[in-house]
């Protein structure tokens, strides 16, 4: 064997960049007493009824494979849920796949639709996995930058400007990680016109759908004309506080699901059986808890937005998810400098906005999925930091 492993690695593996979050994680994890606003998952533990149902399933010996797309019982519950909550109708028998996290669902979608060189528009700032997943599927990720003036929502004009002959699909995540912004029904209708005109597929990441605060969430698939071109992706991680379970799902038109299922059956076979049983319980009996969690996030969001603005970090009011995305321009620092210096000086971890795409530069992502006590302390420290920066700037 040669000493140099790089000659064994594929070109693809070499070209994929490690996530910018990873670098920052290593730094923050090495320090003690850090208050983290960098966590992209709920601070709630999975509701007990869901855990209990899963424990019982293990006691009863549900340890075998399930059907490739998942337990029919679970697919049925997913379809009921999608119909009741978002008014979209899918057939549980052949239009749903239960995946290992929503991330895998996104991966499947790209692999099923992309030919080499075809382009996927990714509305940025965006979750860090989208662009690499497009590249791994042989496609070209094309960022569509949004601006704070529109509350980080993509406009039809921005979309139109990014479309080329090679554009195959649009990936959109609303409510959004990292900005928290949520597209309203009217805004979706406007985007739909462009999508229809250019005959695109929409991959709609609706993982934060349960966490919408001011307006009712609208699924892209519920917009007129969009059902037939939407791959709806959702899961249990955020709304049901089940991140570590890695359970997501796809709902889409029949032929698209068939293609994705072919890939899924060879790569994964099925999602874990016992966890699917927990997910059935989640969809049947957790409405109250989900609603209480939503309200709790909403209160914390209100507190964060008001307080960040008070301490001099301009922050729009995000309509969903559990992130706020304040501007840090007033400090004269770049996103990375701000995050690094804040961590060093005050031991508060936030995520620099530029890791989510160029248009995130000048911003940081703060997750408020943390107790009020911690949030209060974090903001006190951030205020001290911002004031010390003012002194520096005024010289």
Q: Going along 125-226, which residue ranges are E strands? A: 140-145, 167-173, 201-205
**Binding flag, residue 88, other proteins (CB under 8 A):** no
Listed ranges 5-13, 19-27, 77-85, 108-116: which one lies at the site for other proteins (CB under 8 A): 19-27
**Binding flag, residue 36, other proteins (CB under 8 A):** yes
- Position among 9, 13, 45, 55 found at the interface with other proteins (CB under 8 A): 45
CA–CA gap between residue 213 and residue 298 (Å, rounded): 6
Nearer to other proteins, 68 or 374 (CB): 374
Over the window 339 to 378, marking each residue x when it contacts other proteins by CB under 8 A and - when it does not, the resulting string is: ----------x-x--------------------xx--x--
Question: Cα 248–249–250 angle (5° rounding)?
Answer: 145
**Binding flag, residue 54, other proteins (CB under 8 A):** no
- Position among 13, 16, 29, 393 found at the interface with other proteins (CB under 8 A): 29
- Position among 41, 73, 160, 187 found at the interface with other proteins (CB under 8 A): 41
- Position among 111, 168, 246, 300 found at the interface with other proteins (CB under 8 A): 300
Give the list of residues 6+ apart from residue 98 with CB closer than 8 angstroms, or none: 69, 70, 71, 74, 75, 78, 247, 248, 249, 270, 271, 276, 279
- Position among 166, 197, 299, 390 found at the interface with other proteins (CB under 8 A): 299
Phi and psi, residue 365, nearest 5°: -95, 125
- Position among 56, 81, 129, 340 found at the interface with other proteins (CB under 8 A): 129
**Binding flag, residue 34, other proteins (CB under 8 A):** yes
User: How big is the chain, counted in residues?
Assistant: 395
**Contact yes or no for 371/357 (Cβ under 8 A):** no
CA–CA gap between residue 390 and residue 132 (Å, rounded): 38
Nearer to other proteins, 197 or 299 (CB): 299
Per the DSSP assignment, residues forming a β-bridge with 230 are 202
**Binding flag, residue 17, other proteins (CB under 8 A):** no
What are the distances in angstroms from CA 211 to CA 2, 59, 205, 206, 337?
52, 33, 13, 10, 30
Per the DSSP assignment, residues forming a β-bridge with 140 are 119
123 alpha-carbon distance from chain centroid: 12
- Residue 112: closest CA among 258, 260, 246: 260
- Position among 160, 303, 311, 336 found at the interface with other proteins (CB under 8 A): 303
**Contact yes or no for 202/220 (Cβ under 8 A):** yes
**Binding flag, residue 306, other proteins (CB under 8 A):** yes
Minimum CB–partner distance for residue 213 and other proteins (Å): 11
What are the distances in angstroms from CA 324 to CA 16, 40, 335, 366?
28, 12, 14, 5
Listed ranges 20-28, 52-60, 89-97, 132-140: which one lies at the site for other proteins (CB under 8 A): 20-28
Nearer to other proteins, 111 or 300 (CB): 300
**Binding flag, residue 276, other proteins (CB under 8 A):** no
Listed ranges 27-35, 154-162, 255-263, 386-394: which one lies at the site for other proteins (CB under 8 A): 27-35
Nearer to other proteins, 90 or 245 (CB): 245
Per the DSSP assignment, residues forming a β-bridge with 202 are 170, 230
Per the DSSP assignment, residues forming a β-bridge with 203 are 171, 231
Binding site for other proteins (CB under 8 A): 19, 21, 24-25, 28-29, 34, 36, 38-41, 43, 45, 127-129, 177, 295, 299-300, 302-303, 306-307, 349, 351, 372-373, 376
């Amino acid at each position: 064997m040669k000493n140099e492993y790089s000659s064994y690695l594929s070109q693809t593996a070499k070209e994929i960049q490690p996530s910018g979050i990873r670098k920052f994680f290593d730094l923050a994890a090495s320090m003690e007493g850090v208050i983290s606003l960098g966590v992209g998952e709920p601070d709630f533990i999975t509701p007990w009824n869901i855990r209990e149902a899963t424990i019982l399933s293990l006691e009863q010996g549900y340890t075998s494979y399930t059907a490739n797309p998942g337990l029919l019982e679970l697919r049925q519950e997913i379809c009921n849920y999608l119909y009741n909550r978002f008014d979209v109708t899918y057939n549980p028998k052949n239009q749903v796949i239960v995946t290992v996290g929503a991330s895998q669902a996104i991966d499947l979608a790209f692999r099923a639709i992309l030919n080499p060189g075809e382009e996927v528009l990714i509305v940025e700032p965006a979750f860090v996995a989208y662009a690499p997943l497009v590249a791994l599927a042989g496609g070209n990720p094309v960022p569509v930058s949004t601006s704070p003036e529109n509350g980080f929502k993509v406009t039809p004009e921005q979309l139109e400007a990014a479309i080329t002959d090679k554009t195959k699909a649009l990936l959109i995540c609303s409510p959004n990680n990292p900005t928290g912004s949520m597209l309203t029904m009217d805004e979706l209708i406007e985007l739909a016109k462009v999508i229809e005109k250019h005959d695109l597929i929409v991959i709609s990441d609706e993982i934060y759908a349960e966490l919408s605060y001011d307006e009712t969430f609208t699924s892209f698939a519920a917009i007129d004309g969009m059902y037939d071109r939407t791959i709806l992706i959702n899961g249990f991680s955020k709304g049901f506080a089940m991140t570590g379970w890695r359970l997501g799902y796809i709902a889409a038109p029949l032929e698209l699901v068939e293609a994705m299922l072919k890939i899924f059956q060879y790569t994964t076979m099925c999602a874990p059986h016992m966890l699917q049983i927990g997910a059935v319980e989640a969809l049947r009996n957790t409405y109250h808890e989900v609603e209480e969690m939503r309200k709790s996030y909403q209160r914390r969001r209100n507190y964060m937005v008001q307080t960040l603005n008070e301490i001099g970090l301009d922050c729009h009011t995000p309509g969903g998810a559990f992130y706020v995305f304040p501007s840090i321009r007033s400090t004269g620092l770049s996103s990375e400098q701000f995050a690094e210096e804040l961590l060093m000086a005050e031991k508060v971890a936030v995520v620099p906005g530029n890791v989510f795409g160029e248009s995130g530069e000048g911003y940081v992502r703060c997750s408020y999925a943390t107790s009020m006590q911690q949030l209060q302390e974090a903001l006190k420290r951030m205020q001290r930091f911002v004031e010390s920066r003012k002194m520096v700037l005024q010289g």
